[in-house]
Amino acid sequence: MNKLDTKTHIMDIARRMTMQQGFDAFSYRDISEEIGIKTSSIHYYFPSKQDLAEALVDDYIDYLSQGLQNINENFPNGYERFKGMLELMIATSGQEKQLCLCGMLSANMHAVSEPARHKLGEFFQRFETWTTETLKQGVQDGSIHHLVRPVSTAAEMVAAIEGAMLIARVCLRPNYLPETLDLLLARIRP
Amino acid sequence: MNKLDTKTHIMDIARRMTMQQGFDAFSYRDISEEIGIKTSSIHYYFPSKQDLAEALVDDYIDYLSQGLQNINENFPNGYERFKGMLELMIATSGQEKQLCLCGMLSANMHAVSEPARHKLGEFFQRFETWTTETLKQGVQDGSIHHLVRPVSTAAEMVAAIEGAMLIARVCLRPNYLPETLDLLLARIRP
DNA sequence: ACCTTTATCTATCTACTGGTAGGAGTATAC
DNA sequence: GTATACTCCTACCAGTAGATAGATAAAGGT
C-alpha cells in the first residue's frame, strides 16, 4: 500500500479509537489488527505513541480550521456561522458518543508530550477566538441579538460544547447532545 | 492498619489519580507503592479495578450530594447557593488541574461497568436538577434575574462547568477555570 | 484452648505494553 | 543493471497490566 494511504489509515483508526475510548485505551496492537499490518510497521510511521498523538492533534486542528473557514466563506451571517459550527462539531464528534479529539487528549494529557499539550491549549484558544468573532459579527449584522460581552459568551459556549460532548457519553437522555447544543443556539437567536 | 483506614486510603489515592490522570493511567502497583502495601492487598478490597471505579463513583456522588445539601441549608437564596456550588466544584476538582471524577470516568467510560456508567448518567441528571431548582429558587426570591427557561440555563451551566474543567487542564491562561466559572455567575447576577 | 474472620503477605500467572534490531522484497533513480 | 530509498516483516525485549492461590499472623468470639 502507498505510504500516505497507510499513514492515513493508521491515523483514521487511532483518531476514532481516541475519540471513542481515550488515548490510553488502545494499543498499537489494536490498530495493527484492524489494519492488517504488524505493530512494528506502525512504529515505522509513528516511532512513539506520543508522535501519533501529536500527529492527531495537528491533523485535527487543520481539519477544524478548514471547516470553520469554509463556514465563514459559505454562510452569510454570524448566526448561520455559529449554527454551522455546532453542526460541524456534532458531525465530527457527536456520532457514536465520541468526544472531541482535543477534549479527550486534554483528559488524557499525561499521555501527550509538552509540545502537543501546548497545541491543545492553542486549539481551545483559537476555537474561542473564532466564536468571539462570529458572535460579534452576528451582533453587527443583526442576526444575533445584543450580547453584553461577546468574548465572555464565547468562552461559556466553548466550555459548554466540550462539556456537553463529555456528558453525552453517559447521559441517560438519548438526544442530550443535539438538544443541549440547540440551547446554545436558542440563546443567541434574535 | 484498620480495614476502613486502608480502604479509605486506597480510594483517596485512586480518586486523586483518576481525577488527575485518568482511570486508565494508573495501576494497582502505583497505589500499592504510595500506600506501602502489596497489589494483592488492594485486590482484597477491590477484587477488580471496575469495583474500584464503582466505589469511587458512589463515594463521589455521596460527597457532592452532601455538599449541595449543606449549601441548601446554609445559604439563604438561589444566587448564593449557585455561587456556593461553583466554589464547591472548584474546591473539589479545580486545584492541580483535576477533572471532576464523573467527568473523567465519562471520558474513560469503557473502563467502567454498565451499572457504574448508569450511575454517571444519574450524577449529571441530579446535578442538572439541583441547578434547575436553585435557579428557579433564585428567580423566585429575587436574587437572580428573570430566566426564560431555568431548566435550559441549568443544562448549559452544567455542561459549561464540566467543559471548563476539561479545558482548564491544557489552557494557556493561568486563571481560566475560576474566570470562566465566574462568567456563569455573572450571567445570573441580578 | 479452639475456631473463625480479617488483613496482609509471597509467589506466580497470562496477557499485553511500547519499543527495537535487522532483514526481505519492491519500487524508483540514475 | 545497479544503488538507494521505502515499506513491511520476523523476532525479540524488558517491563507492566490486572488478577489468583495459598500461606501467615493477629484478633475476636465462644
Per-residue pLDDT tens over the stretch A115-157 = 999 999 999 999 999 999 999 999 999 999 888 999 999 999 9
Q: Taken in order A166, B120, A19, A23, is the CA torsion positive or negative?
A: positive
**pLDDT tens column, B70-119:** 999 999 999 999 999 999 999 998 677 899 999 999 999 999 999 999 99
Average pLDDT over residues B121-130: 98
Please state the φ and ψ torsions of residue A64, each to the nearest 5 degrees.
-70, -35
Between chain A and chain B, the number of residue pairs with CB atoms below 8 A apart is 140
Residue B100 CB partners (closer than 8 Å, separation 6+): B19, B89, B92, B93, B161, B162, B165
Angle between helices A150-168 and B176-188 (to 10 degrees): 100
CB contacts, 8 Å: B111 with chain A: 25
Percent of chain B with pLDDT over 70: 97
Say how far residue A71 (Cα) sits from the centre of its chain: 15
* Total-model pTM: 0.94
**Cα(B155)–Cα(B76) distance, rounded to whole angstroms?**
23
Nearest residue to nucleotide C8 when comparing alpha carbons to its C1'? B41
User: Looking at residue A9, what is its pLDDT?
Assistant: 94
Nearest residue to nucleotide D27 when comparing alpha carbons to its C1'? B2
Could you say which residues from 164 to 183 on chain A have a Cβ atom under 8 Å away from some Cβ of chain B?
A: 164, 166-167, 169-173, 179-180, 183
Å from the A43 CA to the C19 C1': 8
B1 touches strand D (CB under 7 A): no
Can you list the domains of chain B with their CATH numbers? 48-188 (1.10.357.10)
Number of Cβ within 10 Å of residue A56's Cβ equals 23
Q: Is B158 on the interface with A (CB under 8 A)?
A: yes
Contact B156, A160 (CB under 8 A): yes
Q: Which residues are in reach of strand C, CB within 7 A?
A: A 26-30, 39-40, 43, 47-50; B 1-3, 6, 36-41, 44-45
Which cell goes with B71? 449549601
CA distance B178 to chain A (A): 12
Q: Please name the member of A25, A152, A184 whose beta carbon is closest to the beta carbon of B156.
A: A184
**Cα(A20)–Cα(A95) distance, rounded to whole angstroms?**
10
Contact B18, A19 (CB under 8 A): no
User: Looking at residue A1, what is its pLDDT?
Assistant: 47
Residue B142 CB partners (closer than 8 Å, separation 6+): B77, B190
CB contact under 8 A, A110 and B21: yes
B50 touches strand D (CB under 7 A): yes
pLDDT band at B1 (very low <50, low <70, confident <90, very high): very low
CB contact under 8 A, B108 and A172: no
Can you give the pLDDT of all 190 residues of chain A as single tens digits?
Answer: 455 589 999 999 999 999 999 999 999 999 999 999 999 999 999 999 999 999 999 999 999 999 999 999 999 999 999 999 999 999 998 677 899 999 999 999 999 999 999 999 999 999 999 999 999 999 999 999 888 999 999 999 999 999 999 999 999 999 999 999 999 999 998 7
Q: Is B122 on the interface with A (CB under 8 A)?
A: yes
**Cα(B46)–Cα(B132) distance, rounded to whole angstroms?**
36
Which cell goes with B70? 449543606
CB contact under 8 A, B25 and A110: yes
Q: Is B108 on the interface with A (CB under 8 A)?
A: yes
